[in-house]
Chain A
């Protein structure tokens, strides 16, 4: 049994390596959590394998999110957090995407629950998901410009705020 923070990552990595040697480009172990970095073109196949394999059984997609490492390249990291309810295990899949081509295969065909999670990532980071059935903005208004969780999007948004000095002079004249 894997407790929170103690995941049976090595078994999963061995299993995936045995299935396809190209499925994993890097394995990160941090604080007892296993992150498997997957090449972009292998993501859907690896996800399907994680779900269908009798020894893996990652049947629940818990979460999907993105990290923007601007100005580093590859800039975006898309994270998928998987849970195996029968095996009591967790796993994270990571895909790295460059800023000039932030496109990745959608996982909606594997886990239908990825639908809104990927819409959220599209909305807030501008990552496109190939094969997503309904890729619309979900939190921001439809006519919003830009993707607010990108690091080059200012925290206060794009607004034309007159400085205190100009406001002062304007009031005087």
Chain B
């Protein structure tokens, strides 16, 4: 049975001769990927906006159904490519919940450390690209300089700069190398001053204020009704952060604030994200103190978590388990779980349904970019066309996650 779409063509709001329809994107530098927006314009004012996406749809959810649970981790990296560790974490937490696995504390703290570094690096990319969209070129160069330092830490710890696949079901892929904490320490010493630098360039800058203050307003009620989460919702005054509200991976043991603002415009979202970077630094500092120097980074779960290399050379069972895990996989009990974490963009939810076979029946990613993008028409309708750029930037979309 085939169902065709209800309406094949997009209808504009008024259709009068006064307005014109402008096609923005999909190849447009400030759409941060391949996003197309149909803008109906009355002079310079936006009357109606219709986002159109799917240009990056790669069928990751379908591919996950054809992989074993551990193989699918590699695909999760590619969803939100600015937050691969966060995606790994969300997926692994979901599968661990399905299996009922406990992860050793040491692994949990290292996960927190890595994910918070990732949050800073993602916010840096956001800040840099958002600023360059609005004409502040030098901020972009500064942000990418610091992001490079974070990527170097990732490369040192995980072996990869971006598509890390470091967080695995039951723990981590490997023990972090000696000396990684010193590198993080060095980064922590440098970063607060660098954030001050960005703020000096932007926060009091009259052009920046002119381009962002009062632009892209959305009320808290509308934001909740449209399912917005993350910094966009917190800039509207709702302190909803999964790390506080539904803590995971031992976040309840960390002390940090959830920055909120009430203006709910582009400037407020900028302030929230900058404050979040500072909070992440606080969390990283606490995590460094908490991580025990010795201890397992993977839980003991024969048949699910691969055994240690040494054991495979001496123990028959370890060799059998290793072979079974990598050929056949493991079979969780039938059921459905939903786990949500706080990604840099908002609530990243992973829904995993199992039918008791070694491959997932269904994996679904609730991408915060996808759902926040839904509010874009609300933000830009009635505004000037120049503010469309500011509004797209302020939602912080990653098209890989929008289209999956």
Known: A30-B335, A31-B335, A33-B338. A142 touches B5 (CB 8 A): yes
B59 contact set on A, CB distance < 8 A: 148
Residue-wise, chain B 35-66 has the 8 Å CB interface mask toward A (1 for contact) of 00000000000000000011001010111011
The interface-forming segment of B172-180, B272-280, B345-353 is B345-353
Check A113 against B371 for contact (C-beta < 8 Å).
yes
State how many angstroms separate the Cβ of B248 from the closest Cβ of chain A: 5
CB of B78 closer than 8 Å to a CB of A: no
Determine the chain B residues whose CB is within 8 A of the CB of A47 once the complex forms: none
Known contacts A88-B246, A149-B61, A155-B66; A63 and B338 CB within 8 A of each other? yes
Q: Does A8 contact B (CB under 8 A)?
A: no
Is B17 at the interface (CB under 8 A from chain A)?
no
* B336→A67 contact, CB < 8 A: yes
Chain A, residue nearest B374 (CB): A116
Assess whether B224 is in contact with A4, with CB atoms less than 8 Å apart.
Answer: no
What residues of A have a CB within 8 angstroms of the CB of B62 in the complex? 148-149, 153, 155
Task: Decide if A65 is an interface residue (CB 8 Å cutoff).
Answer: yes
Interface digits, B94-134 against A, CB 8 Å rule (1 contact, 0 not)? 00011010000000000000000000000000000000000
- Whether A128 contacts B3 by the Cβ 8 Å rule is yes
- Which single residue of chain A is at the shortest CB-CB distance from B11? A134
In the complex, whether A138 has a CB less than 8 A from a CB of chain B is yes
Q: Please indicate the chain A residues that have their CB under 8 angstroms from the CB of B168 in the complex.
A: none
Alpha-carbon separation in the docked complex, A59 to B373 (Å): 19
Q: Which of A59, A60, A117 has the most CB of B within 10 A?
A: A60
Q: How far is the CA of A135 from the CA of B370 in the complex (A)?
A: 17
Given A67-B336, A148-B59, A137:B362 Cβ within 8 A: no
B5, B8, B361, B374 interface centre (most CB from chain A within 10 Å): B5
Known interface pairs A116-B374, A149-B61. Does A31 touch B97 (Cβ–Cβ under 8 Å)? yes
A141 within 8 A of B: yes
The B336-360 residues at the A interface (CB cut-off 8 A) are 336-340, 347, 349, 351, 353, 355
B240 within 8 A of A: yes
When distances are taken between beta carbons in the complex, the residues of chain B under 8 Å from A61 are 227
- Shortest Cβ distance from B343 into chain A, in angstroms? 13
Interface string of A104-131 (1 = CB under 8 A from B): 0000000111111100001010101000
Q: Are A141 and B54 in contact (CB under 8 A)?
A: yes
How far apart are the CA atoms of A128 and B1 in the complex, in Å?
12
Interface pair A140/B351, CB less than 8 Å apart: no
Could you say which residues of chain A place their CB within 8 Å of the CB of B340?
4, 62, 90
Cβ-neighbour of B246 out of A3, A114, A139, A142 (below 8 A): A3
Q: Is the CB of B53 within 8 A of A90?
A: no
Residue interface bits A72-96, CB-to-B below 8 A is 1, else 0: 0000000101000100101010000
Interface: B205 (CB within 8 A)? no
Q: Is B366 an interface residue (CB 8 A)?
A: yes
Instruction: Assess the A142–B362 pair: CB atoms within 8 A.
Output: no
Which residues of chain B (349-404) have a CB below 8 Å from chain A?
Answer: 349, 351, 353, 355, 361-362, 364, 366, 370-371, 373-374, 403-404
Do A85 and B224 touch (CB < 8 A)?
A: yes
Taken together as a complex, chains A and B put the C-alpha atoms of A68 and B97 apart, in Å, by: 21
Task: Tell me the residues in window 9-68 of chain A with beta carbons closer than 8 Å to chain B beta carbons.
Answer: 30-31, 33, 35, 59-63, 65-68
In the bound complex, do residue B337 and residue A81 qualify as a contact, i.e. CB atoms below 8 Å apart? no
- Does B92 lie at the interface of the complex (its beta carbon under 8 Å from any beta carbon of A)? no
**Residue B225 lies at the interface, judged by CB distance under 8 Å to chain A:** yes
Verify if B139 is at the interface (C-beta below 8 Å from A).
no
A85 in contact with B361 (CB, 8 Å): no
Report how far A92 CA is from B337 CA in the complex, Å.
Answer: 10
Contact between A63 and B97 (Cβ–Cβ < 8 Å)? Answer: no
Tell me the bound Cα distance from A2 to B337 in angstroms: 16
**Residue of A5, A69, A114, A126 touching B97 (CB-CB under 8 A):** A5
Q: Point out the residues of chain B lying under 8 angstroms from A145, CB to CB.
A: 2
Contact call B336/A35, Cβ cutoff below 8 A: yes
Interchain CA distance A51-B353 in the complex, whole Å = 26
B337 and A33 contact, CB distance less than 8 A: yes
Also in contact, A65 and B100, with CB within 8 A (given A30-B337, A85-B240): no
A-B contact pairs, 26 of them (CB 8 A): A3-B252, A4-B247, A5-B97, A31-B100, A31-B335, A33-B336, A33-B337, A62-B347, A62-B366, A67-B361, A69-B355, A79-B338, A85-B245, A88-B246, A90-B340, A113-B226, A113-B227, A115-B374, A116-B370, A116-B371, A128-B3, A136-B5, A137-B5, A138-B54, A139-B54, A149-B62
Q: A81-B349, A113-B225, A113-B371 are in contact. List 18 more A-B contacts (CB 8 A).
A: A3-B247, A4-B248, A30-B337, A31-B97, A31-B100, A63-B338, A65-B366, A67-B362, A81-B338, A88-B245, A111-B227, A112-B225, A113-B374, A136-B6, A138-B54, A140-B57, A153-B62, A155-B65
Chain A contacts to B: CB under 8 angstroms: 2-5, 30-31, 33, 35, 59-63, 65-69, 79, 81, 85, 88, 90, 92, 111-117, 122, 124, 126, 128, 134-142, 145-149, 153, 155
| Residues on B facing A (Cβ under 8 Å) | 1-3, 5-8, 53-54, 57, 59, 61-63, 65-66, 97-98, 100, 224-229, 238, 240, 242, 245-248, 252, 335-340, 347, 349, 351, 353, 355, 361-362, 364, 366, 370-371, 373-374, 403-404
